[in-house]
Amino acid sequence: MLTALTNARVLLDGGFADAAVVLIDGARIVDIVTSTDLRLRAAQVHDLHGLTLGPGFIDCQVNGGGGALFNDAPSVETIRRIAAAHRRFGTTGLLPTLISDDIGVMRAAIGAVREAMRQRVPGILGIHLEGPFLAPQRRGIHDAGKFRIPTAADIDLIAATDAGRILLTVAPEQAPPEILHALAARGVILAAGHTAATYAQTRAALDAGVRGFTHLFNAMTPLQSREPGVVGAALEDRASWCGIIADGHHVHPAALRIALAAKPRGKIFLVTDAMPPVGSDNERFTLNGETITCRDGKCTNADGVLAGSALDMASAVRNAISLLGVSADEALRMATTYPAAFLGLENTHGRIAPGFAADLVALDADFNVRQTWIGGMSGT
């Protein structure tokens, strides 16, 4: 049945529109009209009472949520639990993210995402493999004992799958350009991260098929006067995308504002790097045998090393407005339109437009989530 979402401040390509009505038929948006459109007579009308209506948030880096960590139990049940927790904060599309682990766990994770998509678990767009082809010098909270150099067999494991979008975070210096090129040629989305690469190595990786950077500034060589490093290559490159964790802990807001000024519009998007406490009352969890504690939104081990975040996407949007000084409509695009483009979903997701997925979020004046739709199905 045709559904009409009315009386909302709707984010369209040109900005917010107060008089727009969004028509949904099944899982797709069919049109954007005014309240005088005759089709409303036969539609089920849903009055949003002045809420802001945007595309649903897309999160490319979700390690956990709802008390569950993907690495602990890479199963459909875990994926469903994580996705449900993040939906409460407006995320209608995500990549369950596997932190560096053994090959058996990688196989299980890929298989679980494949099965979750077959079962149409709401919101699952693919998988993010954050490692294990990373640099020990920039390991962060990862277990360097899991790190290794990719092989032809790894290409087959990662690329020969129908588990939706496949995002692989890799340290360029740990993967020869021919390996990167082979992965990219088979549809794997490559991002540089947890890397000690030089500027030259990063440039070579971009030429070989790397198209993004995982949590810009964190766990990568910084921009310096005589060695621009990974950060310098990322900020200079006009075509690549950068994910950022705007939680006020991972990166100083001034550094993120500089990145926004350096990159072309649309090339920086929000991620959460979320851990199990998101959507849960439990502020502690275990990762690689270490107890991780989250206080005041900051997750660390006993040595103070950051271990993901307790950030949700609605909070990331609010932080982009308050800490980075971006407009409300641009903050929403950083959570929707831009990550969709990074994932190659720019023709189906991340915009409110005819033919696009009816993945939507309704927000109040303080950007708290009031309602979501995934594939046209309403939920909270």
CB 279 within 8 A of CB 294: no
- Write the CB contacts of 316 (distance below 8 Å, at least 6 apart in sequence): 245, 246, 247, 270, 271, 272, 335
Q: 57-342, which class in CATH?
A: alpha beta
- The pTM of the full predicted model, rounded to 2 decimals, is 0.97
Assigned CATH for 2-54+355-379: 2.30.40.10
With bands split at pLDDT 50, 70 and 90, how would you rate the model's confidence at 184?
very high
pLDDT 10s digits, 68-110: 999 999 999 999 999 999 999 999 999 999 999 999 999 999 9
Overall average pLDDT of the 139-167 stretch: 92
Residue 29 has pLDDT above 80, yes or no: yes
From the CB of residue 113, how many other CB atoms can be counted at a distance below 10 Å?
Answer: 29
- How much of the chain, in percent, has pLDDT values that exceed 90? 96
Is the pLDDT at 161 greater than 80? The verdict is no
Q: List for the chain the helix, strand, coil content (%; round to 5).
A: 30, 30, 40
**Is 13 considered catalytic here?**
no
d(CA 18, CA 331): 18
Res 162 pLDDT > 90: no
Q: What angle do CA 241, 268, 87 make, to 5 degrees?
A: 105
From 59, 101, 247, 273, the catalytic residue: 273
Instruction: Calculate mean pLDDT across residues 112-129.
Output: 97
What six digits make up the tokens of 44? 């089920």
Q: Which positions ≥6 away from 188 have C-beta within 8 Å?
A: 158, 159, 166, 167, 168
* Measured CA distances, 287 to 31, 72, 160, 195 (Å): 46, 8, 28, 21
Segments of the chain assigned to CATH 2.30.40.10 = 2-54+355-379
- For 292-326, the pLDDT digits (tens) are 999 988 999 999 999 999 999 999 999 999 999 99
Phi and psi dihedrals of 168, rounded to 5? -120, 120
CATH 3.20.20.140, the chain: domain bounds: 57-342
Structure tokens at 101: 């682990």
